[in-house]
Amino acid sequence: MYTLGARADSYYEYLLKQWIQGGKTEDQLLEDYLQAIEGVKKNLLQKSSPNGLTFVGEISHGQFSPKMDHLVCFLPGTLALGAHHGLPADHMDLAQRLMETCYQMYLQMETGLSPEIVHFNMHQGSTRDIEVKLADRHNLLRPETVESLFYLYRFTKDHKYQDWGWEILQSFNKYTKVSTSKVSTPRSVHQGQYTKVSTSKVSTPRSVRARSVHQGQYTKLSTPRSVHQGQYTKVSTPSSVHQGQYTKLSTSRRSFSRSAAGGPPRGSGCLVNSRLGFRIEV
């Protein structure tokens, strides 16, 4: 099988990112990435009917399948990132066309949420571009489309990508948020059905004893009393399994409180886009 979906997507994504993070010195990574993109354009890229959406299909047992996982929506952002770092300009053009397709995977569903997998119509006379099979209609809150929207907005400054991200966020809030402030995974993107998230309390042992194989000594590990008030519990780590010596580790009450409240700790180097909910480590 040839696919950019499940069990393959991260490999292609990190060929480019490892090349960039390595100071652009590992030429083999770049060569493999460029060769892969050319292979995608030659063998997996097709257009749907009736509206001509560009999509990435799969080849299985020598036959092309117009199946595209939501996972493949990492590709618009990756292509845009490569173009930003000097790779061929047509990578950005392809990124924008695929970004439109990933957005349509949300827009054409009744809930405004993309299913896990879609199939594209390629036959003349089709009335809609996207079909969803019964087993694929669920949504797992995957981030790939929104991540790609972030890249496209940052590199093009086109505000439509912000607007698309905002629409998707509104749909997630409407159909996946439950009364406990948690989110659920919809069973169907057509009807907004969801899987209930249990709110029953799960008891957590106050301490876990890691015994020494020599003298039966142990280190207590306890859980924070409250994530709201910034209270914390020290965790000790044995410096010797023979003598039970340990090193005390403590956390800053102040910085823990800021992090638990949703804001980045001071000096963490985080960029936060409150509108789209992006958090980027820099």
Amino acid at 202: V
Of 120, 109, 21, give the one whose Cα is nearest residue 67.
120
Q: What SS3 state is found at 218?
A: strand
How far apart CA 6 and CA 9 sit, in angstroms, is 6
How far is the CA of 77 from the CAs of 71, 123, 170, in angstroms? 12, 29, 21
Q: Which of 13, 58, 116, 144 is labelled catalytic?
A: 116
Of 16, 8, 57, 45, give the one whose Cα is nearest residue 33.
16
Write out the DSSP string of 219-254.
Answer: EEE---S-TTTT----EEEES-TTT--EEEE---HH
The alpha carbon of residue 279 and the mean position of all alpha carbons in its chain are separated, in whole angstroms, by 12
Adjacent-strand bridge partners of 279: 272
Asked whether the beta carbons of 53 and 100 are under 8 A apart, the reply is yes
- Counted residue by residue, the chain has a size of 282
Tokens (6 digits) for 40: 């995608």
DSSP state for residue 186 in the 8-state scheme:
B
Tokens (6 digits) for 49: 């009917």
> Is 31 an annotated catalytic residue?
no
- Please tell me whether the peptide bond between 50 and the residue prior to it is cis, using omega within 30 degrees of 0: yes
How far apart CA 164 and CA 90 sit, in angstroms, is 23
Residues noted as catalytic: 116
